[in-house]
A = this chain, B = another copy of it.
Amino acid sequence: MGGHHWPVDADVRHAVDELYADYAEALDEGPIEAWPELFTVDGEYLLIAKENHDRGLPIGLMRCESRGMLTDRVRSITQLSLHAPRVLRHVLGPLRVRPAAGTAGDDSAPSPGHSDHSWTVTASYVVFQTLLDADTHVLSCGRYLDLVVADGDRLRLRRKVTVYDNPLVPNSIVFPL
């Protein structure tokens, strides 16, 4: 394979795999408090319907613009105790990892607030839900459009946009995907 030029090296891809395994575990198994820690301090999260995203409408079901807002969201989820009688499972399609525009190999212009090393990561996701004594079904299906950065000793999400393909039932949308 000599002379081939991969868009990202194996170590980065490996670390991206780790990040998404941690992400799925935080949401499926908990503790949900681990979820905000996977974002940078200035990390953003947007949960938006495909129909709105395709039209460029910035109207999302959930929007957080910092880790503090993510933590607030977690607090309201745990206070409402909504996740008792169901189990969620995140399964992802192949992760597509690319150096983010203007940052790859460019050590001279670090962006404020996060590392100068960043990658776009896209993947299809499916979340399966099992309710008590009921069959498993697809709760949501869609695409992640993410920006991942090196932050301290690990990778974190600088921005995560979860674009879901179909309208969700109202009582499910308080939980991040």
Which residues of A does B touch, CB under 8 Å? Answer: 1, 3-7, 10-15, 17-18, 20-25, 28-29, 50, 87, 89-97, 117, 122-126, 128, 130, 133-138, 140-143, 150, 153-154, 165-167
Q: Are B4 and A15 in contact (CB under 8 A)?
A: yes
Q: Shortest beta-carbon distance, A84 to chain B, in Å?
A: 12
Contact of A89 (CB < 8 Å), options: B11, B14, B126? B126
A20's nearest neighbour on chain B, judged by CB, is B94
Q: Are A12 and B21 in contact (CB under 8 A)?
A: no
Q: Are B14 and A18 in contact (CB under 8 A)?
A: no
Copies in the complex: 3
Q: Are B89 and A92 in contact (CB under 8 A)?
A: no
Report how far A3 CA is from B151 CA in the complex, Å: 12
Q: Shortest beta-carbon distance, A122 to chain B, in Å?
A: 7
Report how far A23 CA is from B25 CA in the complex, Å: 21
Report how far A123 CA is from B10 CA in the complex, Å: 21
Q: Shortest beta-carbon distance, A30 to chain B, in Å?
A: 12
Q: Are A87 and B13 in contact (CB under 8 A)?
A: no
**Contact A91 to B89, CB < 8 A, known contacts A4-B154, A6-B14, A17-B13:** no
Q: Are A124 and B3 in contact (CB under 8 A)?
A: no
Tell me if A's interface is mostly helix, strand, loop or mixed: mixed
Q: Which 7 A-B pairs have CB atoms at the shortest separation, nearest pair first?
A: A21-B94, A21-B96, A130-B165, A89-B124, A136-B138, A136-B141, A87-B165
Q: Which residues from B are CB-within-8-Å of A28?
A: 93, 124, 143
Q: Are A25 and B133 in contact (CB under 8 A)?
A: no
Q: Are A10 and B21 in contact (CB under 8 A)?
A: no
